[in-house]
Amino acid sequence: MAELLPLPDGREDARRGPSPDPDPLWRHLVGERLRRLRRERGETLADVARRAGISVQYLSEMERGRKEASSEMIAAVLGALGESLLDLTAGIADDLRASAPAPAPAMSGGAQVLALAA
């Protein structure tokens, strides 16, 4: 019998075996990157929040991916960290490339090798 797994909307879905990992949410990627930048500079949440003009709690929620922050809020935090939106997006793109699975090996004609199991 198939195991029932919860779906994001609360319903259950019958699936066999593990499902592939979904793409990460943008707010999680932004939060991880902001936290890494802050920690690399040896700054506290309070230091960065003060300079950005936001509360410590809001910055903490941004870093944990709990807030879908506006572009203005992200820009304020980036400014407080001495970074730009371009730096943020390029850094996230680099992180995603580094964690992406290796592409399937190509055959001599350039086609990818795919295997199916019944």
The CATH number of whichever domain residue 44 belongs to comes to 1.10.260.40
Report if residue 9 sits inside a domain.
no
Report if residue 3 sits inside a domain.
no
- Domain with 84, as residue range(s), is 26-96
CB atoms within 10 A of CB 89: 13
Report if residue 116 sits inside a domain.
no
Report if residue 10 sits inside a domain.
no
User: Model confidence at 108, in pLDDT bands (50, 70, 90)?
Assistant: low
**Are the CB atoms for 16 and 2 separated by under 8 Å?**
yes
Q: State yes or no: pLDDT of 60 exceeds 70.
A: yes
Report if residue 113 sits inside a domain.
no
* Number of domains the chain is built from: 1
pTM: 0.68
Report if residue 105 sits inside a domain.
no
